[in-house]
């Protein structure tokens, strides 16, 4: 049994904690509040400000892996991520724990082909540059032999509790037989990553030395348009498919006046205007992991929103 410290209790962090606990590992989940809506058997929950390097280092001492599953408010990435990322790097160096980070695809910027781990980090947005810099800093320390680091990159999440381009608001409406408005083009192909698959990849990357020193894409199924996701979900739940349309830009602009998260979506809207597809063949080939079958993903999402 080894010790694992998970910073953050979102869908991926929680799923990773469950997977590790089921293996009999010593698992601690650290959040600012220390509270959890649903305590996990065999998991300790602690209150911790992860920007406090000393406190984070103390918590990580003796841990085999330090998992960065944190998720600052979407509109505050530019201010909240840098001090948090710096503290995680220092804690990993001082404690000797492997740093396994939950990443995303923002660092690649606008693309014209499926993204692989070799796609250049060419971010043109504030959020994309923040995420790219986080990995570049971690990789530099890894290359210097000061830490061991890896990053797991996923596309928009699907799964219970996931917040993404398509989330509970759209799914709840669809399963109630009501029409759904989506962001940008409803008929552009897009990759969707199941949260449990992201957790499996994260745990694998953190504990398998073959993963260290590079980024990996979570095993992700074939891309689906937003319209297809909603239609497939209705079919899986036995509901008559509902109308899917694009939310008018004017409505988004008005919502953005009062909602900073909606306002922050503007800079990443490119991901839904043209094909945004992830190639996860490297992780599948190296670790033998496969994405959860689409029907099982749909069943899990439907069950969570009924």
The C-alpha angle with vertex 213 and arms to 101 and 97, in degrees rounded to 5, equals 55
The domains found in the chain, sorted by start residue, are 3-154+195-218 (3.40.50.720)
Per-residue pLDDT reduced to its tens digit, 22-33: 999 999 999 999
Question: Is the separation of the CB atoms in 223 and 189 below 8 Å?
Answer: yes
Question: Is the separation of the CB atoms in 195 and 167 below 8 Å?
Answer: no
Per-residue pLDDT reduced to its tens digit, 43-87: 999 999 999 999 999 999 999 999 999 999 999 999 999 999 999
At 306 the pLDDT is 77
In the predicted model, what is the mean pLDDT of the chain? 95
User: What crossing angle do the helices spanning 77-95 and 126-143 adopt, rounded to 10°?
Assistant: 10
DSSP annotation of 193: E
Q: Stretch 194-220: mean pLDDT, rounded?
A: 98
At 93 the pLDDT is 98
């Amino acid at each position: 049994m080894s010790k694992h410290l998970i910073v953050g209790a979102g869908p991926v962090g929680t799923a990773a904690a469950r997977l590790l606990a089921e293996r009999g590992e010593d698992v601690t989940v650290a959040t600012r509040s220390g509270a959890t809506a649903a305590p996990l058997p065999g998991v300790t929950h602690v209150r911790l400000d992860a920007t406090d390097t000393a406190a984070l280092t103390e918590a990580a001492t003796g841990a085999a892996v330090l998992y960065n599953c944190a998720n600052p408010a979407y509109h505050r990435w530019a201010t909240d991520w840098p001090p948090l990322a710096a503290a995680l790097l220092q804690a990993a160096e001082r404690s000797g724990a492997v740093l396994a980070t939950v990443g995303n695809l923002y660092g690649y910027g606008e693309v014209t082909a499926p993204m692989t781990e070799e796609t250049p980090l060419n971010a043109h947005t504030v959020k994309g540059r923040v995420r790219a810099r986080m990995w570049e800093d971690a990789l530099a320390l890894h290359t210097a032999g000061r830490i061991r680091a890896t990053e797991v990159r996923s596309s928009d999440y699907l799964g219970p509790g996931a917040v993404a381009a398509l989330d509970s608001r759209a799914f709840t409406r669809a399963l109630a037989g009501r029409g759904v408005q989506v962001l940008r083009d409803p008929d552009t192909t897009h990759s969707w990553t199941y949260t449990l698959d992201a957790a499996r990849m994260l745990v694998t990357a953190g504990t398998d030395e073959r993963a260290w020193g590079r980024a990996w894409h979570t095993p992700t199924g074939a891309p689906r348009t937003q319209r297809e996701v909603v239609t497939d979900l209705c079919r899986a739940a036995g509901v008559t498919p509902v109308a899917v349309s694009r939310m008018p830009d004017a409505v988004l602009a008005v919502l953005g006046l009062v909602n900073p998260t909606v306002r922050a979506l503007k800079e990443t809207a490119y991901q839904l205007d043209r094909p945004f597809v992830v190639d996860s063949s490297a992780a599948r080939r190296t670790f033998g992991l496969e994405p959860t079958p689409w029907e099982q993903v749909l069943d899990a999402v439907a069950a969570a929103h009924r």
